[in-house]
Amino acid sequence: MDQLHRTIHAIYGLALDHNGIPSVLSQIDQLVGLAGSHLMGMNRLNQQVVYNGCTIDRPKLVEDYQSYFHAIDPRRSYTARQSAGQLLFCADVFDNNFVRHDAFYQEFLSANDLLRVAGGCIYRDAQTEFYLAHNTDGRKAEFSAQQRQMIGLIFPHFMQSMTLCLKTAQLQQALHAGEYGCSAHQQAAFFINAESRLIYENTEAKRLIDAGHSLILRNGRLDSKGKPGMLAGKITAAQQLGRPQYLKLAVEPALYITIIPLHNAHTLTWLAGHSPSLIVLANHALMDGRNDNQRLQNWFSLTDSEVKLAKMLLAGHAPQTIAELNGVAISTIRTQIRSLLGKTGMQSLQDLLRLLARLPQL
């Protein structure tokens, strides 16, 4: 039983390290006494293999299955009609008469002494499905009662682990994309908990701290270096008021900081110290007119004329005045205002002006 518990523990460890799949499959083979195990992921939209892990050290066998035999595998046709998580022992579904006349069984499984198979679909969504198969020695009549019991115990754990594994992989990809996007814009991001302590910072934020001339950590709390308490006070204000706070640090080049409370953060009580309550964004980009235009374009996909209109509206000019200053018809300005509202998601001109006023240093 100790080996079973260790194997199940390793199965759930895949949620954090999916590169360990081949090792875990080998542990299952050893525990159950199998000839080999095979995990295959398929793209359901184009039927392409997206993952192929096999403990049977016969590359040609795996290559043949992936290139041709998976398309005529009757087990896949059968499990496709079943819900994910249904464990199939082939001998319980396909009788000897079927096996003798089926091309997949005769040309692939029987020819490679892998006639006895157990497994099924362990994950399925709109785009992807994963199949897990266990093979016993083809010379044996069938899986033993003990092997059936062991596979039955392990199968649901592998199914749960695969769900966690894929969700973790999606989260890792999202974090990587966010990190890449922040780095591309030299955007530092600090995540602060309810006690005002730093719990995570991205690569740009680490670089900003390491530079040591604008921001500093004091007892785990983020603050401005030249003027102690200035940034810490803004962080406290954001937490107490529940509204974004803005700050410009007069360093060279100037550092522009936006502090955003995370009102919709889902915090578990026992994870409170590790959950962010606000995010601090910092960027050294100079807020000149050219940079303002670029930011508006990046944020809302605005055209040059829409950016110009937004800044003139924010400066207090009425639509009629803007039309006269630019030598265009008022109908043109009204059309551009409707486009601005659509791209920013605002319902009225007043909503748009309030949004623009909240953006830092425009």
Distance CA 150, CA 161 (A): 17
At the top level of CATH, which class does the domain 185-283 belong to? Answer: alpha beta
61 to 54, 90, 136, 344: CA distances (angstroms): 10, 20, 16, 55
268 falls in which pLDDT band (50, 70, 90)? low
Residues in contact with 114: Cβ distance below 8 Å, sequence separation at least 6, in sequence order = 35, 36, 56, 108, 135, 138
pLDDT given at position 285: 61
Is the pLDDT at 332 greater than 50, yes or no?
yes
- pLDDT-derived band at 291 (thresholds 50, 70, 90) equals low
- Mean per-residue pLDDT for 102-128? 86
Contact residues for 231 (Cβ-Cβ < 8 A; gap 6+):
215, 222, 223, 224, 247, 249, 257, 280
pTM of the model: 0.62
249 DSSP β-pair partners = 255
Q: How far is CA 287 from CA 233, 246, 291, 356, in A?
A: 23, 14, 6, 15
pLDDT single digits (tens) 1-42: 689 999 999 999 998 888 899 999 999 999 999 988 989 898
% residues pLDDT > 70 (the chain): 90
Q: What is the pLDDT of residues 334-346, one digit of tens each?
A: 999 999 999 888 8
Summarize the confidence of residues 214-230 as an average pLDDT. Answer: 90
| Least confident among 121-135, 257-271, 304-318 | 257-271
Grade residue 96 by pLDDT with cuts at 50, 70 and 90.
confident
Domain boundaries, the chain: 2-174, 185-283, 298-358
Q: Which two tokens stand for residue 74?
A: 């009757």
Give 133's contacts (C-beta < 8 A, 6+ positions apart).
37, 38, 39, 40, 75, 117, 118, 119
- For all residues of the chain together, what is the average pLDDT? 85
CATH code 3.30.450.20 for 2-174 = no
Is the predicted pLDDT of residue 289 greater than 50, yes or no?
A: no
Average pLDDT (110-122) is 83
Give the sheet arrangement for strand 278-283, strand by strand. Answer: 198-201, 188-192, 278-283, 255-261, 245-249
Is the pLDDT at 211 greater than 70? The verdict is yes
Report whether 142 contacts 53 (CB < 8 A): no
Domain boundaries 298-358, CATH class: mainly alpha
- The mean pLDDT value for 316-333 works out to 92
3-state secondary structure of 284: coil
High-pLDDT (> 90) share of the chain, %: 35
Q: Which residues pair with 141 in a beta bridge?
A: none
What is the Cα–Cα distance from 328 to 317, expressed in whole angstroms?
15
- Average pLDDT rounded to a whole number, residues 200-206: 91
2-174 against 185-283: fold identical? yes
- Which residue would you say has higher pLDDT here, 295 or 244? 244
Which range, 63-72, 149-158, 242-251, 298-307, is most confident? Answer: 149-158
Q: Which residue has the higher pLDDT, 114 or 64?
A: 64
- Which tokens go with 296? 């508006």
